[in-house]
Structures are given as C-alpha cells and as structure tokens.
C-alpha cells in the first residue's frame, strides 16, 4: 500500500494556503508532519481526505486517484483522527467508537455484534475499557482524544491520518499513544500524523515533513530534517538537539529550547 500526495494546492475559497505539496508514505511507515500554528497542516489533511476540494494536484492510493472514490470506499481505506471535537449529542463512548465501523456496515447501517466486539477490542487495546459506558460529552479532552483514536482503530483502515494525536494528553498517555502508533505501523498500517513536538519525530517516525510558512516542505528522515537550523527556520526560535548514547550505535535525541 502506498499513499501519495502529488503537487497538491489547497485552501479555502480563492485563498491558497499551501502550494505544490508532494509527499508519500508506504505500509509500515510513520510520516510525522511538523510545522508552526496556522501553516496549513489540518487544511492539507482535510484536502487529502476529500473534505476540501483540491485546487491542484492529486491524491493516489496504490496509484489509483481517489478523486473518483465514494466516501464509503475512502472511509474503508483511510482513517482520520481529528483534533478533539465535542459532538452535539451525548453518545456513550462505546457508541462513538462503534461509529468507526460505519464504512463496514451493511445496507441498513446497524452495527452487528462483530462491530461492537471490534469497538470493544479497540477500547481494550488503548487501555480505556473502563470508559465504555461513559457519556462522551462528559469526559475530559484527553480522554476524548483516546476515544477518537479507538474509533479510528475500530475503522481498521490501511492508512491512518492523525491530527495532533497527542494534544491534550498527559505525559503517560502521550507515550502510550506513540507506542500504539508504532505498533499499528508494525502491523502494516501507513500513518501520517502531526505533532507540535519535534521530539515525537525522533521517537516514532520513519520520515518527517517539516512545513514552513512559505509552503516549502523539507522531507527526509528525522536525523536530517529535525536539525537546529531547520527548526529555527520553521519556528523562529533557538533549539538545541541533545544526543545521548544508549548503547552501541543507538542514540536518543531530544529538542531543548534555548531561552534568551
């Protein structure tokens, strides 16, 4: 499975937010999209998923242009974890996660026992089965984030697009989610995620795309993209990359801001 974004322009109305964006990810890969607030990461995601009409370029899955695909076919193939939202109705957590099965349901759109089992397994996998019967609108932002990730797992897509999956999460849950993301990729999923923490690129990405304000994109492995120079150019602040040898040729790397 290969997911490719080729020469895409996207934006709203007559405003182009991003121009000539190209990137790709294969099964087992994790592409971490970094960039400052308002640069266009969510806009790119919505455009890749067909929620926003592309202004130029194309999106391909295994060489097939998804422009002609039905919404159901897109949803069976590509999962999306949006930034946390509050739905208008007080569904239970299990209901919200079961909604991830919609693209797999039959003509009448009623969840089967299998759909419910898949949803329960997704909650279990993330260690949040205790929330099963809680009302989604009455749990915390971080808990909702975990539920949205469970919903995407229940959807069982081949490609998973995650918009700031660790936003709102405490330190432990951030690590749990990053560990899950690595496990999903190891199972063969292709994952694209955004993060406001360049360290996450060191922790779990196979590739990084750093988006700058001028729409230019630096793509490559974390080692080459997450550098002090590139972070300064993208975020306008001084950052040191600290390296710690953890044995043999294995290094831990971390970004530390230099406050003036």
Which residues contact ligand ATP by CB under 6 A? 12, 17, 35, 37-43
CB 202 to ligand ATP: min, Å: 19
Nearest to 206 by CA among 197, 193, 196: 193
Collect all residues with Cβ–Cβ distance below 8 Å to 112 and sequence separation of at least 6: 105, 106
Residue 20 backbone phi and psi in degrees, to 5: 55, 50
Of residues 127 and 141, the one with the C-beta less far from ligand ATP: 141
Joined tokens for residue 113: 């026992």
Query: Which CB sits closer to ligand ATP, 117 or 216?
Result: 216
C-alpha dihedral sign at 124, 167, 73, 60: negative
Q: How far is the CB of 13 from ligand ATP (least distance, A)?
A: 7
CB of 160 closer than 8 Å to CB of 192: yes
Q: Cβ-count burial of 54 within 10 angstroms (0-12 exposed, 13-18 middle, 19+ buried)?
A: middle
- Give the rounded distance of the alpha carbon of 88 from its chain centre: 23
Cα separation, 253 vs 222, in Å, equals 10
In the complex with ligand ATP, the residue whose CB is nearer, 60 or 197, is 197
Name the minimum Å distance from CB 161 to ligand ATP.
Answer: 12
* Least distance from ligand ATP to the Cβ atom of residue 133, Å: 32
Count of CB atoms within 10 A of residue 180's CB?
A: 19
Q: What is the smallest separation between the CB atom of 46 and ligand ATP, expressed in angstroms?
A: 8
Smaller CB separation from ligand ATP, 84 or 102:
84
Element (H, E) at 141: helix 141-155
| Residue placing its CB nearer to ligand ATP in the complex, 101 or 200 | 200
Give 43 or 155: the residue with its C-beta nearer to ligand ATP. 43
CA atoms within 13 A of residue 260's CA, in its CB half-sphere: 3
Residue 165 tokens read as 């999956």
| Shortest Å, Cβ 163 to ligand ATP | 7
CB of 238 to ligand ATP, least distance (A): 20
Minimum CB distance to ligand ATP smaller for 41 or for 200: 41
Are 159 and 3 contacting, i.e. CB atoms less than 8 angstroms apart?
yes
């Amino acid at each position: 499975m290969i997911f490719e974004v080729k020469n895409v322009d996207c934006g709203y109305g007559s405003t182009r937010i991003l121009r000539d964006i190209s990137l790709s990810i294969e099964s087992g890969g994790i592409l971490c999209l970094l960039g400052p607030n308002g640069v266009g990461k969510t806009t790119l995601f919505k455009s890749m998923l067909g929620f926003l009409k592309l202004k130029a370029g194309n999106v391909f899955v295994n060489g097939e242009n998804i422009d002609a695909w039905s919404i159901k076919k897109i949803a069976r193939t590509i999962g999306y974890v949006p930034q946390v939202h509050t739905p208008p109705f007080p569904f239970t957590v299990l209901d919200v996660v079961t909604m991830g099965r919609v693209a797999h349901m039959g003509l009448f759109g009623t969840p089967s026992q299998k759909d419910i089992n898949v949803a329960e397994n997704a909650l279990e996998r993330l260690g949040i089965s205790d929330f099963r019967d809680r009302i989604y609108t009455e749990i915390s932002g971080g808990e909702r984030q975990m539920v949205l990730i469970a919903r995407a797992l229940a959807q069982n897509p081949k490609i998973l697009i995650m918009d700031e999956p660790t936003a709102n999460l405490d330190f432990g849950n951030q690590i749990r989610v990053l560990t899950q993301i690595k496990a999903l990729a190891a199972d063969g999923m292709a994952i694209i995620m955004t993060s406001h923490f360049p360290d996450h690129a060191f922790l779990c990405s196979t590739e990084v795309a750093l988006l700058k304000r001028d729409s230019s994109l630096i793509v490559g492995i974390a080692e080459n993209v997450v550098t002090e120079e590139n972070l300064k150019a993208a975020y306008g602040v001084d950052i040191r990359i600290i390296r710690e040898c953890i044995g043999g040729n294995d290094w831990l790397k971390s970004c530390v801001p230099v406050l003036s």
